[in-house]
């Protein structure tokens, strides 16, 4: 009887993680996490954008917990995690180590990774170092070629009002980015290309807990003025080496640029791409149900393929 019970448990797949919120120690502080769902299977971890933002806007992906466990966390510096000011930790390598600390803490052998924006950069860099722990990559509104991103953003900037364009030029010339006119220009850009339908409470929480110093150091003063340490980042030469299933999603009006995402997909073996109609960059807000559906279907397909290989 004991042997039968052990065999039955083994067939159920990965262990269940404790559901709920908590904090774990990583290098530099403590990070906040939330685990949703009680269905055994390969879990998915959510990597939010930024750097320096938080996972509030990623809440819609908690809906994936109807078929697997979902791990949502705030990267160190933003959200409910500890703040950091040490610029030696403002690196891609730091956040890759932080992510693997989370995996190691829970004893996860393999997980699906879903990254959004900066989180896609983190996802790809994590895969480079730890491919054995990655079942698939879902890359939403990918920022994998920052020079191309900035070029696209500068083109989108030309669609803003004349007053916003003048304010941007003046701020960049003077290197004075706290001017109200420049901030208003950012707001106009956000309304067109970042999100069209916000969840106000989560937007307020995101802005209140943003690590502005971290964002400015790695990104720059805005989505279209990129002066930070990531300004030359380009993962496209590596994409052909990815050997796990990859799904790209992008909003129709996304600042990430649907044409850029199509190029990334063409460079990634076997990758799928879905353009979410009517959505800007924060697709979990602008296309909640459709975004969750296409990711759920993709993960189900990967799980089925992996199960077939084991049989």
Q: Residue 224, Cβ neighbours under 10 Å: how many?
A: 22
Whether residue 162 lies in the annotated active site: no
What is the pLDDT, as a whole number, of residue 255? 98
**Global pTM?**
0.94
What is the pLDDT, as a whole number, of residue 12? 54
What is the pLDDT, as a whole number, of residue 3? 37
The residues, ordered by sequence, that sit 6+ positions from 60 with a Cβ below 8 Å of its Cβ are 284, 285, 288, 291, 292
Query: Which one of 117, 136, 141, 143 is the catalytic residue?
Result: 117
Query: Which one of 254, 286, 288, 303 is the catalytic residue?
Result: 254
Reported CATH class of domain 20-310: alpha beta
- Which parts of the chain register pLDDT below 70? 1-13
Residues 178 and 171 sit within 8 Å (Cβ to Cβ): no
What is the pLDDT, as a whole number, of residue 309? 86
Whether residue 240 lies in the annotated active site: no
What is the pLDDT, as a whole number, of residue 148? 98
Query: Which one of 164, 281, 286, 303 is the catalytic residue?
Result: 281
Whether residue 65 lies in the annotated active site: no
What is the pLDDT, as a whole number, of residue 96? 98
């Amino acid at each position: 009887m004991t042997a039968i019970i052990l065999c039955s448990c083994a067939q159920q797949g990965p262990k269940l993680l404790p559901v709920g919120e908590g904090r774990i120690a990583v290098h530099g502080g403590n990070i906040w996490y939330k685990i949703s769902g009680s269905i055994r299977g390969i879990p998915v971890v959510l990597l939010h954008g930024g750097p320096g933002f938080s996972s509030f806007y990623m809440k819609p992906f908690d809906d994936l917990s109807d078929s697997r466990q979902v791990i949502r966390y705030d990267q160190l510096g933003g959200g409910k995690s500890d703040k950091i000011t040490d610029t030696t930790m403002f690196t891609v390598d730091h956040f890759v180590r932080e992510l693997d600390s989370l995996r190691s803490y829970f004893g996860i052998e393999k997980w699906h990774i879903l990254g959004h924006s900066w989180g896609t950069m983190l996802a790809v860099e994590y895969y480079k170092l730890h491919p054995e722990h990655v079942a698939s990559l879902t890359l939403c509104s990918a920022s994998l070629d920052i020079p191309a991103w900035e070029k696209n953003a500068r083109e989108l900037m030309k669609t803003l009002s004349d007053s916003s364009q003048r304010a941007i030029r003046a701020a960049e010339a003077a290197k004075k980015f706290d001017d109200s006119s420049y901030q208003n220009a950012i707001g106009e850009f956000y309304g067109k290309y970042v999100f069209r339908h916000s969840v106000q409470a989560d937007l307020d929480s995101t802005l209140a807990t943003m690590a502005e110093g971290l964002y400015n150091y790695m990104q720059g003063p805005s989505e279209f003025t990129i002066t930070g340490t990531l300004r030359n980042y380009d993962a496209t030469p590596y994409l052909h080496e990815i050997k796990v299933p990859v799904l790209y999603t992008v909003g129709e009006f996304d600042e990430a640029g649907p044409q850029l995402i199509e190029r990334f997909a063409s460079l990634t073996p076997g990758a799928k791409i879905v353009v979410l109609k009517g959505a800007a960059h924060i697709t979990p807000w602008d296309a909640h149900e459709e975004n969750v559906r296409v990711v759920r279907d993709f993960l189900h397909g990967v799980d089925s393929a992996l199960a077939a290989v084991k049989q």
